[in-house]
Structure 1
Amino acid sequence: MTYEELLTEIALSDDRFIVMTAENRALVRNIPSKLGSRFIDTGITEQTMIGAAAGLALRGRIPVVHALASFLSMRAFEFIRTDAGIPNLPVKLSSFIPGFLSDGNGPTHQALEDIALMRGIPNMTVFAPADEDDLVKMLPQIWSHPNPAYVRINTRKTNYIHTPFELGKAEIISTGHDITLLTYGLLFEQALLAVDILKKEGLSVGLVNLRSLKPIDERTILDVTRNSRLTVTLEDHFLTGGLYSIVAEVLLKHSLTANILPFALNERWFKPALLPNVLEHEGFTGKQIAERILGYKTFHRQPETTMQQFAE
């Protein structure tokens, strides 16, 4: 099932659902003719769309809104915070082409701080599916939950079949006492490749899909950092405020520390290109990830290596 098929099915079965877009119909091209007046295109007006969605939510509706990730998370930020977050309304944000998925676009269209922004809003929940299978397994629970939600939409098809989704729970793909990769979204594909390479080197390697970023699965993070010699955080996001920061917050909350190697963009945007070229240029292919992990000095018990040099 695709994203559009799922949304259509749910909206036709429950007239509380309203589908909205700020003139971005890539995910919902066939829905207008099926929903009629319950499909609303506000034009290039992300702020107006959020305000209208909040008004509809106050009247018992469940608006599912669509826009480019960079504009949804940043241009409409104040409206999301004030109109949806503070009153805790079930406005569901479908964020299109987040992170590296905005491959051909420059910095203005690259949403690399969206996780940090959205998880900072009271009452907001934040999710990042690994692929389309993960997406359609997650959305029914997300859309039926009473809180506002931000979803990094990912409709890429992979061969991986995900386990059923539980709000606030990570998907544990494998466990390992040498290395464990924590990731979410698009880079799950590359993490699978990296794990395969590392296992061929004779290492015990774990992989966790942190599909729910807020609420976060603290127990899994604690278990991973306690039981693996090295924990790797892998994300197409800025280093500040994303998964690396989430892990640090969880550890500090429990008065713990751990050996962490972050893969993230450190206060810089990525080079626009086709997605395979973006991954290669920025060092985020499965092969490059595995090579950096194998060359990581602290993993080989040389403590003089710092975290900062790897977060670039």
Structure 2
Amino acid sequence: MEYRRSHDPRANIKTKTSSWRVFFILLLAVVAIAQPDLDFIHDVTSPDGPLHSDGFCSNGTMQSPININVPLSPVNYSLPVSPDTKYVTANASLSNNGFSPQLVGPFGNFTIGNKTYDFVNLHFHRPAEHTLNIITRYQLEMHIVHMNADGERAVIALFFTLGASSPFLSQFFHLLPQIEEIGDPPVLVPNLEPSFSMSGKYARYLGSLTLPPCTEGVIWTVMLQPNTLSTQQLAQFISSFPIGVEKLLHGLPEKVGLLYCEESYSYNEFLLPLATSNTEEFIVQDESARSVQPGNGRVVQISPSEWTQF
């Protein structure tokens, strides 16, 4: 885009200042709309946990997340080989949504059929909420939430597993210490590139939000091939957003990072050894990840490979 230069330099300064002011006002408005129920956590022993929630969270029949049994799921050859996303580089606002870093900004849209869903926010759940073939549960799951003009939602889920450093996460993970507390002011992330990978097959099913009010009718697109993040990046996340017993190790990312070196977790909860005076073992509650919900006969469809699409 070409900008016309004003003869009065003060006019440019005023225009830029006004633009940034409008940008931040819009971002704060989106953050306010997108905030989840901060009193709700996924610890089943808590009075604010899932056993004590009302509405769809406890009575819904099409809830998310679910286990995706890839070999037993039919291929839908009418699905696009890749999700029809039009993401762009944009300035983002990074904030604490109560359990995860959250990004908002004008990042583009996602089209399903003849409906276009605009980007709302991007946030994380740890460990991953969806499981694959019952036994595989990745270290991290990223949700890209979209909404259309009718208020209908579509979410793209991407997994992260330990491996090479993620260029996408490296753009803002160093800023996580600035938003460790709820209420910390949002942090600007300029020119954030949507450089995550969305290659390979994906699963498509109809489910719900995984946070209250657990609204149903959400179209889920779950990418089956994980992205990677380094041990250092995972340690950065754990240090700023610890769950369960990790809170006792807060501020010791080099120790916390060593606890997560496996590619998958057990189905619901897992044990982590913690060196204490009594050398006891503690259960880590999945406070930022909802447990797998019943499928209730729902059909999960798998996208075709590029060479098998008709």
Shorter-normalised TM range: under 0.3
User: 1 or 2, which has the higher strand percentage?
Assistant: 2
**Normalization by structure 2: what TM-score?**
0.24
The structure with higher relative contact order (CA 8 Å, sep 6+) is 2
